[in-house]
Chains A and B, each alone.
Chain A
Amino acid sequence: MSGIEVPTTGRRSRPMAALWRSMSDQRWELAAAGLLGAFASASAVALLGASAWLISRASEMPPVLTLTVAAVTVRFLALSRAVFRYAERLVGHDAAFRGLTQLRIGVYRQLERLAPSGIAHFGRGDLLARLVADVDAALDLPLRIILPWAQAVLVALATVLFLVWLSPTAGLVVGVLSVVALALTPWLVGLTARRAEARMAPARGRLTAAVVRALDATPELSAFGAAGRATARVRTLDDEVTSLNERQAFALGVGGGLGILVQGAAVSAALAIAVPQVTAGTLEPVWLAVVVLLPLALFDVMATLPASALALQQLRGSARRIAELAEVPAPVAEPAAPSAVDDTFRGLRLEGMGAEWVAGTPALRRVHLDVRPGQWVAVVGPSGSGKSTLAAVLMGFLSYTGSVTLSGTQVRDADGDDARRHLGLLSQQAHIFDTSIADNVRIGRPDATDDEVAAALHAAQLTPWLASLPDGAATTVGSFGVAVSGGERQRIALARLLLADRPFVILDEPSEHLDGATADALMDTLAEALADRTVLLITHRLRGLQAADLIVELGAGEVVARGRHEELLAAGGWYAEQWYAEVDREDMAELVPRLPVGRAVPWPGRSGAR
């Protein structure tokens, strides 16, 4: 992906080596596959050799019985070639897929280590590409690169040794040419392809980005008659990718051509060496066909190596993207000797707390806040004032300066998961997994009984909705199940939170993406269901804050005002302005239900007689 600046620890590993290491638990299975593959290829080479010998010997018109062994061998090799190839593919692919799972777990561990703050700048699509597409691409490493090359080396070794036994000079020449085909040609192809590939990734990236932009802005581009221009742009970028494709094809073509030249050189050289030997009587005539035809078959085995070299170049990008994740420093360092967090919640205290996402640009500064057990505290302010940063710090997703103590324990000294045992979070767009509603809720407490899950769903006031679903709480939701509205989504997340039964709950803009009436209804449910908990409500909507024990107003990363509702309203400023705007909105909520549906009614409008 171009355009993403990845902060790194400065440690540069070798991506391809790292990729291999994380798949290498399967090395013995892969070695077995390599051997099976070598047997298959060797059978193919030997098949031609044995057939050639059979015919050469037969031409000397010996008793037919003396040919039986050779005839059986030919038939056996024909069989073994196919069977060994089949076995190699089964064993090799199975091992490669096992390695893939292992690699994917490694990548997931990195994501888990960094989530959510450390990977925020990657974007969801990019992370998915790393976990799915890049990991899948790694399949090429064993299957298209290591196995073909390893078996080509083994077969070349065996064939050359056999040739040396027949005719040392011919063996030597074929050996040298094998090295060319095994190493030099792939290296040349790799070198040629590497330049094109280095430009290919950014060119592909530009094309993808333009296509995504065109798709995102489809309504605008169509409505404003710009579709033609957008298509033309895609065509230009596509041309660029195509011309790079042609260069890669050129590299591959050169590799293929070189391979055949080397094959021709080997066959011609074998003839040039062996024919005088036959004349001189140092080589039996019956072996001439074998000495000439074995190289022909051997270099056919190596014909796939230029493609392997290209695959290696194409894999580099994926390997680098996977390795990059390991180089991103953790957003929060886990302490070596964590202090335990007390089991009873005794309050949260922030003293001179500051935090930043980008070094040098503080998102929060000098925040003081004291939340005592049982309190409802609201943190308000316009978007960008640092509210969500506060939630990230409290959840241990972002490091901070100053002091944050949870029940008396400094949060940075505690193990992240241990501290989070005491905290619950309901965020603006809680994630609902593609599974049943009950399973989604059970993430809060995996060992909860069905009754406890039902109680949590009831407290989140989902019971009427569940009754309308085909399978109640067992209904699957998400991509493969029924669609869930924004309000229902947040309520499922609330049930999850209630089931987890955390003493201190952070509500981070829980109604952000909901329309007015749905948002209000959700806030009322929250107030009821969380009445006996300690709550920190982060919001820019002010409805229902009259009851809060304390309201803290943030502006540009600092606390600009604090007090109860009446005090802030009296003080004027952002809070008062926002409050009156919301009152306006409630007027609207009163007006709309009185109108008829689907039919326009005249309205005094500009006369202003509202």
Chain B
Amino acid sequence: MRPLDPRLLRYAQSTRAFLIVAVVVGAVTAVIVIVQARLLSDAIVRVTSQGAGWAEVRDTVVALAAVFVARALLAWLAEGAAVRASARAKQQLREGVVEHVLALGPAGPGAQAPGETATLITRGIDALDGYYARYLPQLVLAVIVPIAVLLTVLGQDLLSTIIIAVTLPLIPVFMILIGLYTRSRVDRQWHTLSVLSGHFLDLVSGLPTLKAFGRAKSQVDAIRAIGSRYRSTTMGVLRVSFLSSLALELLATLSVALVAVSVGLRLAEGQIEYPVALYVLLLAPEAYLPLRLVGQHFHAAAEGLGAAERVFTILETPVPVGGQYTLPAGPVEIEVQDLRVEYPDRTRPALDRATVVARPGTVTAVVGGSGGGKSTLLNVLLGFVSPSEGRIVVRAGGEEADLASLDIAHWRDRIAWLPQRAHLPGADLGETPSLAQAVGLGARGAVGEAVPEERIWTALDAAGIGDEVRGRADGLAAALDADGGGFSVGQLRRLSLARALAQPADVVLLDEPTAALDPASENAVVSAVRELAARGATVIVVAHRPALIDVADQILRLEPAGPEHSPLEEEIAEEAATSVRRSVGGDGW
């Protein structure tokens, strides 16, 4: 939580114009407030000590009223400039994060926890309002305004100037000291708060379980306990920030009181003039106000700064694969050499070792238990994940290249891919894409470009679902809402396959394409796979049913690495131990 994060300032570039307007408006307001003080003290002094009547001060009062009108207009302007200043910066950040998360792909830090990331992108970034709209402009004003006020006071009374000049710098000094002292404490407590809100999530998710065991009602005590910890930790943070405001406020008001009493007493002794005294009294608080506002706005911006920290964690994660090389057109051969994938936050490798050459026109079946790295292999081939060891060489048109050197967008354009858990979004992210939009996503059209219907029908037929779509009244216009638009799980699976096949591909990667399919649908998919290979594609398919293996040319088995035993193995081991025990006659060990 740095008060002036250069990364945040970079995003402020785009909104510089509005920030400047905000600062200018603030500075002009400060000048007008000085004028207002002058007019007020003039009017009062002339009536009280010079015996002036209403006629003599009327012009001053009219001018004063005009000053208020000008201030009102400026206040209105300031609000507009502030919101525009933050809006642009926020939009750029938001877009940047979405773009980067999509570029990082499914293994990136954003896509791993979609719910949390979505909150960050929406509410988290919104919380930066306080930073861009209030804190940044105020920071500049906190330098300009006190100097202007101080110079004005200097023209009136030296002693007051000295009092203000001595106490004023104490405010930032105090702020920094208090900030340093409390930072670790505040950080720790924010962590506790996030743990507590995790508890509530846990409770909501576990509610059916608690109810089944008759423990749901008694959780009220747990909520009360969590609530009181929530309160005490939050109050711990707040007490610190209230105490720092108390210190700053005391410093400011006592300094103003010091000025007031000092000018009052000197006035009584005739050392200064009445107009000067009143003018200085009205000016003094204006010197402290901007600095106190900086502190206030910084506290308000703290939440946004916390969010910004997490935003930059995402933005600073490098995109894994990025070369410029474009492989020539034609059938593609893929050679996986001793591939190993490890994630820094996991102890076990996601993919231990894999070696395979997949040639055009063949089907490679990948089998094995869960956690063996079958989907990871496909993720590496798609460029979502970088290998930790080993490499992948691709060959086409007589040339060869390391996968890492390829222009990843071009490479992905040559791949037809069916993920294990497919979503069927439309490219416009609308709530209910039509079947044509969802399947057409695979055809990789440009923005706003409709995919020709015959291409979609070809894809649907290739996935063995064309006739079923023709049989529906709404056909290609079928709305794929959250419930799948009346399609069964198996049909949706084949729609995802159709999407993968919506444009001709040299490489076909299918992750359990027959999961959740009835035998008839399974046959349709199996023949689609055979057809793809027959037309020269390089097909790699994660298989868990014999029907798919029947059409394979080679099989690659992947299993989790290390000492991890599958429950099945445990049972076999246990059975073996039991039989050994029986054979030695007794349980003497």
Contacts and interface: CB of A to CB of B under 8 A. Distances in A.
A533 interface: no
Contacts of B552: 603, 605
Interface string B492-511: 00000001000000000000
Given A131-B203, A600-B364, 20 more contacts: A47-B253, A82-B249, A115-B208, A116-B211, A132-B197, A213-B423, A220-B423, A222-B384, A232-B447, A260-B68, A267-B68, A285-B47, A425-B212, A516-B544, A521-B568, A591-B367, A592-B368, A597-B353, A598-B355, A603-B552
Interface in A72-109: 74-75, 77-79, 81-83, 85-86, 89-90, 93-94, 97-98, 100-101, 104-105, 108-109
B44 A211 contact: no
12 contacts: A97-B227, A217-B423, A233-B428, A234-B429, A256-B75, A271-B61, A296-B40, A444-B213, A600-B355, A603-B552, A606-B530, A610-B550
A218 B69 CA distance: 53
B323 interface: no
B43 interface: yes
A217 B267 contact: no
B557 A218 contact: no
Contacts of A373: none
Contact of B83 (A131, A246, A478): A246
B156 interface: no
Nearest to B84: A246
B312 interface: no
B200 interface: yes
A222 B110 CA distance: 13
A383 B277 CA distance: 86
Nearest to B214: A417
Contacts of B106: 218-219, 222
Interface in A573-610: 577, 581, 584-585, 587-588, 591-592, 595-603, 605-606, 608, 610
A261 interface: yes
B76 A257 contact: yes
Interface string A495-522: 0100010000000000000011110111
B316 interface: no
B315 to A, nearest CB: 14
Give the interface SS of chain A, mostly helix, strand, loop or mixed.
helix
B187 interface: no
Interface in B332-388: 352-357, 363-365, 367-371, 382, 384
Contacts of A79: 250, 253-254
B135 interface: no
B412 A225 contact: yes
A551 B31 CA distance: 87
A228 B77 CA distance: 36
A258 B54 CA distance: 27
Given A208-B122, A261-B69, A518 B566 contact: yes
Pick the most buried of A97, A226, A272: most chain B CB atoms within 10 A of its CB.
A226
B307 interface: no
Contacts, number: 499
A431 interface: yes
Interface stretch (B158-166, B171-179, B413-421, B470-478): B413-421
Interface residues of A, number: 170
Interface residues of B, number: 167
Contact of B489 (A207, A383, A444): A383
Nearest to A221: B102
A286 interface: yes
Nearest to A77: B257
A67 interface: yes
B535 to A, nearest CB: 14
B74 to A, nearest CB: 8
Nearest to B419: A219
Contact of B94 (A215, A234, A288, A600): A234
A601 B555 contact: yes
Given A64-B265, A249-B79, A125 B115 contact: yes
A44 B274 CA distance: 23
A353 interface: no
A433 B355 CA distance: 40
Interface in A178-204: 204
Interface string B530-568: 100000000000001111011111111111000001111
A222 B510 CA distance: 16
Contacts of A211: 98, 118, 121-122
A24 interface: no
By Cβ-Cβ distance, the 10 closest A-B pairs, closest first, are A264-B68, A101-B227, A253-B79, A249-B83, A78-B257, A521-B567, A97-B231, A215-B114, A59-B274, A116-B208
Nearest to A499: B213
Nearest to B48: A285
B239 interface: yes
Contacts of B415: 223
Interface string B290-323: 0000000000000000000000000000000000
Contacts of A132: 197, 200-201
Given A212-B118, A433-B206, A597-B368, A264 B64 contact: yes
A209 B431 contact: yes
A65 B65 CA distance: 38
A14 interface: no
A480 B116 CA distance: 15
Contacts of B499: 224
Nearest to B413: A225
Interface in A396-443: 397, 417, 420-421, 423-425, 427, 430-431, 433-434, 443
Contacts of B370: 515, 518
Nearest to B489: A383
Interface in A261-288: 261, 263-265, 267-268, 271-272, 275-276, 278-279, 285-286, 288
A598 B87 contact: no
Interface string A235-246: 100110010011
Contacts of A61: 267-270
A264 B204 contact: no
A232 to B, nearest CB: 6
Interface in B65-111: 65, 67-69, 71-73, 75-80, 82-84, 87, 90-91, 94-95, 98-99, 101-103, 105-106, 108, 110-111
A56 to B, nearest CB: 6
Contacts of A516: 544
A91 to B, nearest CB: 11
B103 A222 contact: yes
A360 interface: no
Contacts of A209: 429, 431
Contacts of A268: 61, 64-65, 68
B87 A246 contact: yes
Contacts of A3: 431
Contacts of B268: 58, 61-62, 64, 67
Given A81-B249, A101-B224, A71 B265 contact: yes
A443 B209 contact: yes
Contacts of B98: 211, 214, 230-231, 234
Contacts of B328: none
A548 interface: no
Interface stretch (B1-9, B138-146, B215-223): B215-223
Interface string B232-255: 001100110011011001100110
B353 A598 contact: yes
A315 to B, nearest CB: 15
A128 B201 contact: yes
A250 interface: yes
A524 interface: yes
Nearest to A279: B53
B99 A231 contact: yes
B198 interface: yes
A203 B42 CA distance: 52
A537 interface: no
Nearest to B201: A128
A94 B425 contact: no
